[in-house]
Amino acid sequence: MNFSADIGMQKNMSYSTARPTFEVVVTRNAIVLMLCISINYINGTLVHTFFRHKMFRENPRYILFIHLVFNDMIQLTIAALLNLITYIWFKINVSFCCFLLMIAISTTQNTPLNLAGMAIERYIAVCNPLRHAQLCTVNRTYILIAIIWALGVAAILPDLFVLLVTEPNEFFHSAIFCHRDPLFRQDFMKKKKTISYITYLSFVWFILVFTYFKILFAAKAVNADAKKARNTILLHGAQLLMCMFTYVGPPLETVFKYTFPAHFPQLRFASYLMIHILPRFLSPILYGLRDQSFRKYFKMYLLCNVKDSGGQTMNISADIGTQKNMSYSTARPTLEVVVTRNAIVLMLCISINYINGTLVHTFFRREIFRENPRYILFIHLVLNDMIQLTITALLHLIAYVWFKINVSFCCFLLMITVSTTLNTPLNLAGMAVERYIAVCNPLRHAQLCTVNRTYILITIIWALGAAAILPDLFVLLVTESNEFFHSVIYCNRDSLFHQAFMKKKKNISHITYLSCVWLILVFTYFKILFAAKAVNEDAKKARNTILLHGAQLLMCMFTYDSGAQTRNFSADIGMQKNMSYSTARPTFEAVVTRNAIVLMLCISINYINGTLVHTFFRHEIFRENPRYILFIHLVLNDMIQLTITALLHLIAYVWFKINVSFCCFLQMIAVSTTQNTPLNLAGMAIERYDRRVQPAAPRPALHRQQDLHPHRHHLGPWGWPPSLPDLFVLLVTESNEFFHSVIYCNRDSLFHQAFMKKKKIISHITFLSCVSLILVFTYFKILFRRQGCERGRQEGAQHHPPSRRTAHYVHAHLRRDQSFRKYFKMYLLCNVKDSGGQTMNFSADIGMQKNMSYSTARPTLEVVVTNNAIVLMLCIAINYINGTLVHTFFRHEIFRENPRYILFIHLVLNDMIQLTIAALLHLIAYVWFKINVSFCCFLLMIAISTTLNTPLNLAGMAIERYIAVCNPLRHAQLCTVNRTYILIAIIWALGAAAILPDLFVLLVTEPNEFFHSVIFCSRDSLFHQAFMKRKRNVSHITYLSCVWLILVFTYFKILFAAKAVNADAKKARNTILLHGAQLLMCMFTYVGPPLETVFEYTFASHFPQLRFASYLIIHILPRFLSPILYGLRDQSFRKYFKMYLLCNVKDSGAQTMNFSADIGMQKNMSYSTARPTLEVVVTRNTIVLMLCISINYINGTLVHTFFRHEIFRENPRYILFIHLVLNDMIQLTIAALLHLISYVWFKINVSFCCFLLMIAISTTLNTPLNLAGMAIERYIAVCNPLRHAQLCTVNRTYILIAIIWALGAAAILPDLFVLLVTEPNEFFHSVIFCSRDSLFHQAFMKRKRNVSHITYLSCVWLILVFTYFKILFAAKAVNADAKKARNTILLHGAQLLMCMFTYVGPPLETVFEYIFPLHLQEMQFTSYLIIHILPRFLSPILYGLRDQSFRKYFKMYLLCNVKVTCHRKHVTPFKCITSPRVNPSL
């Protein structure tokens, strides 16, 4: 490449073949950069002088001068940058070049225009002094500056617009030598440039000449000396001449090229310095030094000699970067020392950044580096160091020049410095992990270490780096006033974040980060070492790389050790009792060392124990052996106990005291696991005794049959009794305030009563005595048994089956121990063999791998039914509780007018919807497996929107609490009901905005056939494009980050507001904390998929059970806990909630209402005074709901059978039958809902009641009409078979169904129209007990009802009788057996009789009321089951099971034994159910 390139603002020329040497290039760039920095330093001092003194900021003359200086600084920086670019990259992107040239040309044009403005200001001051103050104001000066920039930009903007129009898009993505002539290469643009230059300079020259002579004549006219003003104008002229050098540069270079061709490069470089650099140096200095006032301050700031307010000279021997502020000596360094130090720092900074920049340039110039994750991480480390070094040098320079700077600017610099400082060790850890994968798992290196994942890792590194300083910034924003951020401060971390807890947090974060990085480096080093030894290879290079990372990390640690002082930690250790502390506290180093040792030991031991657990679950031989089950339980117990102990140890040093409730939780686990260990040892001893002492043939079989049962090894609960009574006593004896206080967390401090300590000692003695007795007994029993066996062998006995079996058993177990050791060593080194004998490396990433094929063992029918029953019962129970909360809200106006309760109820309703959809998706995954894509879209839209609504709603609730506490006077004005509903609308809009773009993309990219196909309904299956998954992760992170930010901000605001007024805002703070806990539970949704992947690889054999458990914890539990915790904390809400939950509601007359209400379709009766107990209410509703779910499940199986097979969908007989089943499902659901409403709410809104009754009555009347239609179809099939296919078509069947619904609705619609006409609007907003007689209460309506019932049933009976006898006579006429058809008609009659029970229900209840008044409630409930529930169960089953074709498929689907195609040939559905991840909510 030819490096004789021209500099930024010169035209492109043909370059000579002889390019300058490397020394020449470095020298020229160093000269340019040093001049640029020096001139900008001087100009920056001028700017600093201007802004430090108000007298300059209010003078238009100085404002214009400083604008000139600013403009020259920008122009000089861009010129130097373009010079550097020509030597390094030569060509750059056209778009970036446009940006640089726009600034360069505009600032170049601004200089002469600014000089003209300054000349006019001087002219007015001399020639019209009386009006100078009126004409030359500060505002007008800034307007003049805006005009100058507009004129400067106007010279280049037309060229840019022409370029955009005339050039194609590819041009702007190409590379070009960055100069005006190659970019704007059209001839007319060059002519325009020349004309604009002449116009601008002529105009400026005219102004300068005019003002010069005007000032000269004015001075002569008054016989005054205007020498100074004239000299100023002359200086402007000289400055303008220097500006004109820019325009004479190109022709001057052409002269040099032809006159001195041998020395052309040197002459061109000299002209560059004279034309572009020198004018920016001379003009501000000459102008600034001519003004006495300005010169005085300028010299002071230039020599770093600043006087404080007290008149004392301040020593600017400031410390560097992020070190703490030191006490300054009175003897300040001389100017030579200051200049020398700053010069050394700047030269080192420039040199290092130049070398690093070369590395970056090398990386971006070669594609081989850009596609290698190793080099990407390395270059990120280099870029990070460049940023960190630049900011550190800047802070060093600031410390000597300005000493104190603006707080906001200091925050910005420190944010970058701290983040980049922490990024370095994290980047080293990432590089070590990449080397580890490359050496230990080379076959999967390309799959795991991709370029995209590398950039994701870099993003995570920056997030972790920022996470160490962002909380401090948030606390600072909350605790400090606005004035603080406009003040000045010595810029280092300790001066800015001066609170004590921030300094402690800084130390903790440093220790945490470095400990994790050290752990990764040590782990990867030894892994690489062992891997090299295992294959007898030399991995010296990779090991040396890790060692270099360690050395680099040591150097990074110097940052944290500098200036560290000895700190005292009086913290006690985890599980020890609180002691009286000596006066000599451990030093900071001792504290750090101790905690580091404990954490490293804890991690190492848990890693080894985890490997044991992994070995156990990977091999069935261990999972079926009680010995290993007990052993692994001991290991898991020890892992939990060790983790809690280490946590308590860390807490003792860091926080010392913690919340009592949290301490209770930790102590319960710690004490229980501690007690579990000896009990588990006792169980293991008994197991050894049982197998060694009694190894006869029947005993091992019995041993295997009984002891292998998994429920016989749950020894965990044995450890709970000693600690639970203490907890119960504590809950009874202590007040609520105690559990919100803080305490030193150990057992004696928490359970401090004397009798508890005695009980502890007794329980310890009892447990240990029992365990010791068992161990001694089993030891001697085994010892004597082995001695007897040895004696038997010595006596030469021929037949000793037990001894042989014992010896064989011992050897077998020894062999199994060897197997365990073999697998353990293999897993410990992450070297696992797969089924094909190939070595699998388990250092693989889990979360991002594709879904694997699962084992062929499908869950049994019992497991499927149990899982679905648990989910449905939990869903119903939680929605019942949440529905009670909603009912409480709508029953009392005090809640409906409070924004706090509105937001809470919206949260509850949102959770109810989300839970219902999640349960539905879970059920679909087991029953249908795949559903229609369009229906899946609908379900997922609701599920995803409601899932995202929860954190947004929590944020809204937190803001409402913040306003209520911190701004109570404006709370009523800001938080109105209308605004709350607007906020809810915004929440739904934001929730939908996260999924709507995916839906639109799906609609555009997929064909129509896709939306009619079937799919396993999950977000990943539906939105399967890679960018959609990335978008999902980004949206989740964005939403949750914003919500976390709001919660943290409001929490600290409330906390500090309470402290400011010495008030207790404990409840509001706790509310915010609850929001945080609730948000954490919401976040479980997003960790579900990676968690399932972990289970999939770690516990493959138990994956279905673990996935189901995670589903309950992630999707079900948060919807149960969050509303209850929030609702029960409010006293007003709690009072009403308890009342409605127990169905104990008082009416307006203060009489207790009896909720033994009858069922939806019955008339309202007078209720007995004795209301049913809570147990009776719960039992009845449970029976109804269980029957409803069971019957609908069976009916749903019938519907599923129908839609799965085309043979049924084309047969009118089956279409009518399935319509009957669907109609019964709707009717049963509405009846059960009305039954539930009558017990829970009793009265509901009239409009909602109208809706329910319309459906209930229509479906009730549809049943007999559908039976009549089925009877007619059978009559045609038997009596007129030749025309059956013509008369009974599919289309006509659907028309008949429409007629049935029309006739069913015709019986109730007139009543509704009459009600709308006769009742006022208020009636439809009131509440009523929902039954037909209560709603349609006019007498003529009751008579009409009876008439319609008689008419409908008479017609149906007539049709049934007619068809029955017609079929009978037709069969006799042809001597055929029409028994089946006749039986069908008879079944229709029986079914119609059961339907008629609905109409005899009211008179039947009247009879019961008079005959059995004491048992009326039981009789009513029984009649409800017989009348409303039983017919919906018997009729479809009897009809469906009579058909052989239908019965065959029905039995198959009822038992969930369906064959489908799922990536292989036919497998059972539960193989497919475990195949994809059943993530039912999203």
The set of residues, in sequence order, having a beta carbon less than 8 Å from that of 815 and lying 6+ positions away, is none
CB atoms within 10 A of CB 1208: 20
Q: Which of 168, 59, 149, 137 minimizes the C-alpha distance to 111?
A: 149
User: In the chain, which stretches have pLDDT less than 50?
Assistant: 1-17, 306-330, 560-583, 695-721, 797-816, 830-857, 1144-1169, 1458-1482
The rounded distance, in Å, linking the Cα atoms of 1202 and 1125 is 45
CA dist 216 and 230 (Å) reads: 7
- In the three-class reduction of DSSP (H, G, I as helix; E, B as strand; rest coil), residue 375 is classed as helix
How far apart, in Å, are the Cα atoms of 546 and each of 435, 518, 527, 613? 8, 11, 11, 29
Phi, psi (rounded to 5 degrees) for 1243: -115, 140
Residue 174 phi, psi (nearest 5): -85, 180
pLDDT at residue 1455, rounded to an integer: 57
Q: What pLDDT is attached to residue 936?
A: 92
> Which of 132-140's residues contact partners 24+ apart within 8 Å by CB, and which partners?
136/60, 137/60, 138/58, 138/60, 138/63, 140/60
What is the torsion angle, in degrees rounded to the nearest 10, for the CA atoms of residue 309, residue 315, residue 316 and residue 319?
A: -120
Task: Please report the pLDDT score of residue 376 as a whole number.
Answer: 92
Alpha-carbon distance of 97 to 100, in angstroms, equals: 5
Q: Measured between alpha carbons, how far is residue 373 from residues 458, 521, 547, 842, 1326 in Å?
A: 11, 18, 19, 20, 68
Q: Are 502 and 473 in contact (CB under 8 A)?
A: no
Measured CA distances, 1132 to 131, 897, 905, 1067, 1142 (Å): 73, 14, 14, 14, 16
The per-residue pLDDT for 1445 is 66
Q: What is the pTM of this model?
A: 0.34
Instruction: Please say whether the dihedral angle defined by the alpha carbons of residues 536, 542, 543 and 544, taken in this order, is positive or negative.
Output: positive
| Euclidean distance between CA atoms 355 and 359, whole angstroms | 6
Which contacts of 812-821 are long-range, i.e. CB under 8 A and separated by 24 or more positions?
Answer: 813/627, 816/621, 816/622, 816/625, 819/619, 819/621, 820/615, 820/622, 820/628
pLDDT at residue 213, rounded to an integer: 83
**Count of helix runs (H) and strand runs (E) in the chain:** 64, 12
Give residues with Cβ within 8 angstroms of 24, minimum separation 6. Answer: none
Cα–Cα dist 709/1156, whole Å: 46
Residue with tokens 């140096």: 281
Alpha helical stretches, state H, 1374-1458: 1379-1411, 1416-1424, 1430-1442, 1444-1454
Tokens 């809706």 belong to 1251
Distances, alpha carbon 386 to alpha carbons 430, 462, 1160, in Å = 19, 15, 76
Instruction: Please provide residue 314's backbone torsions phi and psi, each rounded to the nearest 5 degrees.
Output: -90, 135
832 φ/ψ angles, rounded to the nearest 5 degrees = -115, 140
- Please say whether the dihedral angle defined by the alpha carbons of residues 452, 454, 460 and 465, taken in this order, is positive or negative: negative
DSSP structural state of residue 831: E
Pairing of strands 1243-1245, 930-932: unpaired
Instruction: State residue 1293's pLDDT score.
Output: 93
Whole-angstrom Cα distance, residue 596 to residue 931? 54
**Six-digit token string for 1454:** 């009822």
Tokens encoding 899: 């924004």
